[in-house]
Chains A and B, each alone.
Chain A
Amino acid sequence: NAGVTQTPKFRILKIGQSMTLQCTQDMNHNYMYWYRQDPGMGLKLIYYSVGAGITDKGEVPNGYNVSRSTTEDFPLRLELAAPSQTSVYFCASSYGRGMGNTIYFGEGSWLTVV
């Protein structure tokens, strides 16, 4: 079982560059999430999706964009990278939000903006 797969695992960006963090899951999950985690902090929700074609903002959406054209994929786009976007990014998915709907996380993507 591949679960939730994120790429790349590590990336260094220059200020003003753009990039896309890829996330794919093979569990036919409806719900997908993108979080960022700064050192010593909890996770902050960037964007989430409850199904293909549906996305919504989380707690810290500024500077990011997402799309959900398929059930499997939920890419996160960074436009005009800034040092404040240096963080670890986690993608997660679940079937729904009810009982038994365990949330699965990817291994994380370490992003440094210099």
Chain B
Amino acid sequence: KQEVTQIPAALSVPEGENLVLNCSFTDSAIYNLQWFRQDPGKGLTSLLLIQSSQREQTSGRLNASLDKSSGRSTLYIAASQPGDSATYLCAVISYNTDKLIFGTGTRLQVFP
């Protein structure tokens, strides 16, 4: 059974810091891994998708890496801004299933 864990559960940082959010999964036979952002009271917005054959994906100030063999992914946020404040979730699809399984999320607050 696939289990996805995110560390830390919450993070509060001053504006301008570079951040690393962590995601780990127990079954390394994944098809892809995705990072999402969720604003309070809202649905989720997809940020980055990494196929199992890829090592990383970049979008603007966001960079996500994937180490499938160790069951880990990191989301790197450069030069954080107050507008980055949200909950960030990772999710994986295992290779032999179509289930998209989510982690517990990291709640990020960036203060001015």
Contact = CB atoms under 8 A, between A and B. Distances in A.
Contacts of A35: 102
A97 B93 contact: yes
Contacts of B99: 45, 48, 58-59
Q: Would you call the interface of chain B mostly helix, strand, loop, or mixed?
A: strand
Contacts of A59: 99, 101
Contacts of B51: 98-99
A27 B62 CA distance: 27
Given A98-B51, A99-B51, A43 B46 contact: no
A37 to B, nearest CB: 9
A107 B43 contact: yes
Contacts, number: 64
B60 to A, nearest CB: 16
Interface residues of A, number: 28
B49 interface: yes
Given A48-B99, A103-B100, A43 B89 contact: yes
A41 B32 contact: no
Contacts of A97: 31-32, 93, 98, 100
Contact of B104 (A42, A45, A48, A90): A42
Interface string A49-66: 010000010110000000
Given A98-B51, A108-B42, 5 more contacts: A45-B101, A97-B31, A97-B98, A99-B49, A101-B49
Interface of B: 4, 6, 31-32, 34, 36, 41-46, 49, 51, 89, 91, 93, 98-105
20 contacts: A4-B43, A41-B105, A42-B4, A42-B6, A42-B89, A42-B102, A42-B104, A43-B44, A43-B91, A45-B102, A50-B98, A59-B99, A98-B51, A99-B49, A99-B51, A103-B34, A103-B100, A104-B46, A105-B44, A107-B43
